[in-house]
């Protein structure tokens, strides 16, 4: 059991003193009538009176508010304080002749910043015009044993500078609850994330897409080239995988008769971490019968601008110092054109992994594999992706790295696939989906041969998915977008850890 700090021991003494005086520091009931914002809004409609002040009179509107004690200021016989709830802050005003001498003394001695309190009374305006609650009854709701970090202020070159509390990046991620409690701008960022998800959902719902839920625990992983997390079901004696994609289960629903389906949820990939990768992440995927990748590109432009309009109220964003305009139409270029332009390599001249690896070494790469598809991904990630700051679609990918996409008519080695890039990051991936079960089976076999026998990124043969396809799957366009990366763009955050409430971290030093 950890030892308490000196400040914590002092607060524990206060807690016991409250109990000794008949005040329960963690009562079972709360009697809030107004949030801070509701109380202020209700009294805002009351005309200001010239004589209205702390000691004056005004229309009485009763209210009980609750929140965390944020600031205390004593002025003679009166005490002002601010409490904060999820809607904002409100000032409270206390005098001994209204709440009692003993209660005011208890407040000054045993209440601390960070405590949750309940205050009941009537609203009024102070001489400075601030809407305030004149307290007639005060209740402790939750005593904070550990003090919250406090922001520090200083004057630098005549300017007021605030050094925000709890600014250590590692600690912010490990103790997100403290980060949220003391840094209101962080709370705002996660509200923005929630609005982004809601806007995507509204856009798709308004276009007759049906939101569904597919299994997270799967007997086979599929839909992407990624290493899965493995678990075991003891009762059924089955090894299972956390899903790496929704794709194969969503497309089974097209076989069943749904024409437009989507899911927003978590994927899990047992891979490295980076500024844009977390082992678990949130994806949006949809599948649209009787559409192809051109239809999906057009819908993507509409959807992204819809979300920006509804969340930000504008279509221009700033990310990593770049001003980015999300307004359609977005430029479209083939993968072959992009790689040739940014690396000088025409992959059509290098049909084998050995040849492509040699060409990459000639321009300074140090490839660790001769798998052709992995080499091409490396070229894209190193030479092309960082250059795509403004929204851009890369389209028409080699068949070798897209086992689930339909071939372009007249070009069996190229598939109808696109990826959307913004701010130097891939944010979405989409296909004209393969619906020929015989072709799909052959692709699975080819993918299995392309990887080493023990490579967990190889796409496994999914016999049940092939069975579903053999019943007949309509032609369709599929789409996937990373919610976390998109949130990074709209909030101008350089790392995915800033937009995931609880990012995965290495063990802290000394942690068991």
pLDDT digits (tens, 9 = 90+) for 151-176: 665 566 666 555 556 778 889 999 99
Claim to verify: residue 173 and residue 189 sit in the same structural domain: no
Look-up of token digits 């949820």? 265
d(CA 194, CA 310): 12
Claim to verify: residue 446 and residue 473 sit in the same structural domain: yes
pLDDT digits 0-9 by tens, 231-259: 999 999 999 999 999 999 999 999 999 99
- Statement: residue 443 has pLDDT above 60: yes
Confirm whether 507 is domain-assigned: no
CB 90 within 8 Å of CB 133: yes
Confirm whether 464 is domain-assigned: yes
Domain final residue pick, 111, 142, 173 = 142
Confirm whether 508 is domain-assigned: no
pLDDT of the residue at 453? 53
Backbone angles phi, psi at 324, to 5 degrees: -120, 130
pLDDT of the residue at 289? 98
- Statement: residue 58 has pLDDT above 70: no
What angle (nearest 5°) sits at the alpha carbon of residue 439, between those of residues 437 and 441? 70
User: What's the CATH code of the domain at 17?
Assistant: 2.40.50.140
Claim to verify: residue 219 and residue 296 sit in the same structural domain: yes
Confidence of residue 55 (pLDDT cuts 50, 70, 90): very low
Most confident range, picked from 42-46, 218-222, 365-369, 474-478: 474-478
Domain final residue pick, 182, 204, 239 = 182
Of the two residues 59 and 102, the one the predictor is more confident about is: 102
Confirm whether 374 is domain-assigned: no
- Statement: residue 140 has pLDDT above 90: yes
Mean pLDDT in residue range 202-215: 98
Domain final residue pick, 142, 172, 196 = 142
**Of 2-11, 150-159, 388-397, where does mean pLDDT reach its minimum?**
150-159
Confirm whether 336 is domain-assigned: no
d(CA 194, CA 202): 12
Q: How many domains does the chain have?
A: 3
User: What's the CATH code of the domain at 464?
Assistant: 3.30.930.10
Claim to verify: residue 102 and residue 247 sit in the same structural domain: no
Mean pLDDT in residue range 89-100: 96
The model's pTM? 0.90
Backbone angles phi, psi at 322, to 5 degrees: -100, 135
Confirm whether 433 is domain-assigned: yes
Q: How far is CA 136 from the centre of its chain?
A: 42
Q: Which domain holds residue 166?
A: 152-182
Mean pLDDT in residue range 395-423: 92
Claim to verify: residue 314 and residue 251 sit in the same structural domain: yes
* E strands in 46-179: 62-75, 78-85, 88-95, 116-125, 131-142, 152-156, 159-163
pLDDT of the residue at 2? 81
Backbone angles phi, psi at 303, to 5 degrees: -70, -45
Claim to verify: residue 212 and residue 68 sit in the same structural domain: no
pLDDT of the residue at 210? 98
pLDDT of the residue at 227? 93
How many residues can be counted in the chain?
Answer: 512
Most confident range, picked from 45-49, 191-195, 501-505: 191-195
Of the two residues 122 and 52, the one the predictor is more confident about is: 122
Confirm whether 84 is domain-assigned: yes
Claim to verify: residue 177 and residue 189 sit in the same structural domain: no
Average pLDDT along the chain: 92
Confirm whether 354 is domain-assigned: no
Claim to verify: residue 132 and residue 72 sit in the same structural domain: yes
Claim to verify: residue 130 and residue 176 sit in the same structural domain: no
Claim to verify: residue 414 and residue 431 sit in the same structural domain: yes
pLDDT digits 0-9 by tens, 305-323: 999 999 999 999 999 999 9
Claim to verify: residue 166 and residue 210 sit in the same structural domain: no
pLDDT of the residue at 455? 60
From the CA atom positions of the chain, what is the Rg in Å? 29
**Of 53-67, 86-100, 384-398, 404-418, where does mean pLDDT reach its minimum?**
53-67
Claim to verify: residue 414 and residue 312 sit in the same structural domain: yes
């Amino acid at each position: 059991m950890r030892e308490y700090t000196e400040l914590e021991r002092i607060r524990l003494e206060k807690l016991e003193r409250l109990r000794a005086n008949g005040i329960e520091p963690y009562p079972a009931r709360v009697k809030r009538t107004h949030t801070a914002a509701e109380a202020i809004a209700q009294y805002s409609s009351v005309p200001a009176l010239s004589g209205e002040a702390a000691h004056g009179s005004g229309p009485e509107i009763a209210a009980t508010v609750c929140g965390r004690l944020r600031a205390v200021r004593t002025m003679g016989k009166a005490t002002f304080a601010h409490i904060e709830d999820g809607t904002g802050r409100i000032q409270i005003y206390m005098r001994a002749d209204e709440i009692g001498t003993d209660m005011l003394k208890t407040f000054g001695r045993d209440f601390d910043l960070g405590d949750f309190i309940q205050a009941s009374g009537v609203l009024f305006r102070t001489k400075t015009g601030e809407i305030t609650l004149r307290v007639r009854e005060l209740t402790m709701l939750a005593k904070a044993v550990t003090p919250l970090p406090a922001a520090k202020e200083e004057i630098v070159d005549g300017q007021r500078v605030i050094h925000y509390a709890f600014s250590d990046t590692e600690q912010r991620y490990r103790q997100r609850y403290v980060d949220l409690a003391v840094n209101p701008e962080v709370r705002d960022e996660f509200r923005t994330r929630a609005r982004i998800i809601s806007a995507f959902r509204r856009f798709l719902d308004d276009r007759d897409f049906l939101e569904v839920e597919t299994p997270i625990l799967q007997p086979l992983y599929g839909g992407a080239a990624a290493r899965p997390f493995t678990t075991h079901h003891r009762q059924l004696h089955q090894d299972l995988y956390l899903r790496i994609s929704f794709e194969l289960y969503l497309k089974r629903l097209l076989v069943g008769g749904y024409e437009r389906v989507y899911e927003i949820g978590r994927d899990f990939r047992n891979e490295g971490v980076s500024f844009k990768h977390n082992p678990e992440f949130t994806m949006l995927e949809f599948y649209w019968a009787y559409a192809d990748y051109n239809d999906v590109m057009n819908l993507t432009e509409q959807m992204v601008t819809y979300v920006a309009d509804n969340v930000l109220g504008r279509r221009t964003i700033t990310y990593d110092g770049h001003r980015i305009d999300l307004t359609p139409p977005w430029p479209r270029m083939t993968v072959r054109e992009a790689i040739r332009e940014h690396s000088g390599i025409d992959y059509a001249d290098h049909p084998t992994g050995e040849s492509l690896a040699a060409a990459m070494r000639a321009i300074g790469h140090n490839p660790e594999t001769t798998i052709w598809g992995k080499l091409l991904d490396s070229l894209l990630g190193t030479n092309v992706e960082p250059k795509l700051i403004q929204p851009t679609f890369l389209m028409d990918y080699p068949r070798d790295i897209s086992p689930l996409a339909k071939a372009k008519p007249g070009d069996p080695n190229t598939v109808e696939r696109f990826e959307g890039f913004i701010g130097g990051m891939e944010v979405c991936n989409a296909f004209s989906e393969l619906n020929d079960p015989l072709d799909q089976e052959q692709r699975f076999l080819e993918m299995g041969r392309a990887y080493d026998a023990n490579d967990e990124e190889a796409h496994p043969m999914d016999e049940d998915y092939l069975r579903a396809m053999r019943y007949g799957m309509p032609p369709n366009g599929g789409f996937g977008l990373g919610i976390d990366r998109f949130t990074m763009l709209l909030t101008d955050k350089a790392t995915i850890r800033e937009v995931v409430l609880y990012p995965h971290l290495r063990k802290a030093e000394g942690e068991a």
